[in-house]
A = this chain, B = another copy of it.
Amino acid sequence: MATIYEVAALAGVSPATVSRVFNGNTVSPEKQRAVREAAAKLAFTPNKTARRLRKQSSEVIALLIPDIENPFFTALARGVEDRAQQAGFSVVLCNTDDDPGKELRYLQIAASEQMAGVILAPASDEADLGAIASLGSPVVAVDRTTPYPVDAVKVDNRAAGIAATTALFDAGHRRIACIAGPVGIESTEDRFLGWRQVMTTRRAAMPEGYLRHANFRADGGYAAMKDLLALPEPPEAVLTTNNLMGVGALQAVVEAGVDPSKFGLAVVGELPFMFLTPPAVVQVRLPARHLGTTAATMLLERIGGDAQPPRTVVLRAELA
């Protein structure tokens, strides 16, 4: 790795001039040419670390997501990456596993690595954005909001829950259960509230046990669905508040010998890679990628110096 000094020596100028050439400052055409030639000859790439130390900032943004194996989040990540790439930024992907400890560690890393900004799907309400915020690094919350006054991009989750539940109603189902995510995670909580609202409005019965809190993965949905099917009066239809629980629930239905195209299953999110989706499955498509591009755009605006008060953008999900 050639340094700026070697380039300067070869080009017969000072290091400062070399720096100026690459940072768009006033340098005479001849010296400019000399520097570029020397740089090319030495295959010079500026040392990002040194630059970062001096500039106290970098062209890297951190993206903290809870589960890299969830297609919803990878689609979101793609959106972030596409947008960042365009702007010449790199994205560092971090897996928090919905563990506040891991999340905190990554936030500290982001701070001590002088990252330009952070996009975060908060694992918990207590996500400590204090450290990173006090650094002046912008933060955008995505998918879920936080108590901190930062930009946020989310989905109208309650509307999504309402749409999904209503679709089940319209298909003729009445005894509709809900498999919700862990308590305290805003996004699925809101979807569950949508379900409850529809159920209440329509005066549908919500027997004890028709609401299940499961972990976010396929196995959680699977177990919850098994439980539901084992009830004395099992539901005719079920809403799961995220994609992977939907996968698990569908499997449980099939394994129980119930015809999945008769049973009413609604999922907020998409059943990933499920082209074979039984027609009866209702899916509310979440704009995952769009969530990512929007968040990235907002973050880049902040990085660019935009100082307006925090905004929250709410995207709408649509029935697929």
A residues contacting B by CB (< 8 A) are: 1, 43, 45-50, 52-53, 58, 68-69, 71, 74-75, 77-78, 81, 90, 92-95, 106, 108-109, 111-114, 131, 135, 218, 244, 247-248, 250-251, 254, 260, 271-276
Contact = CB atoms under 8 A, between A and B. Distances in A.
A92 B93 contact: yes
Nearest to A93: B93
B271 A250 contact: no
18 contacts: A1-B112, A45-B108, A45-B111, A47-B53, A47-B114, A48-B113, A48-B114, A49-B53, A68-B81, A68-B93, A74-B74, A90-B94, A218-B273, A244-B273, A250-B275, A250-B276, A251-B275, A274-B274
A77 B43 CA distance: 31
Nearest to A289: B69
B46 A49 contact: no
A150 B167 CA distance: 55
Contacts of A271: 273
Contacts of A248: 275
The winner among A81, A113, A248, A251 for most chain B CB atoms within 10 A is A113
A82 to B, nearest CB: 10
Contacts of A218: 273, 275
Given A1-B111, A254-B275, 8 more contacts: A46-B112, A49-B53, A49-B114, A81-B95, A93-B93, A247-B273, A254-B276, A272-B273
A287 to B, nearest CB: 16
Ranked nearest first, the 3 interchain pairs of A and B with the lowest CB-CB distance are: A251-B275, A93-B93, A48-B112
Contacts of A247: 273, 275
A71 B69 CA distance: 7
Contacts of A114: 47-49
Among A74, A109, A247, max chain B CB count under 10 A is at A74
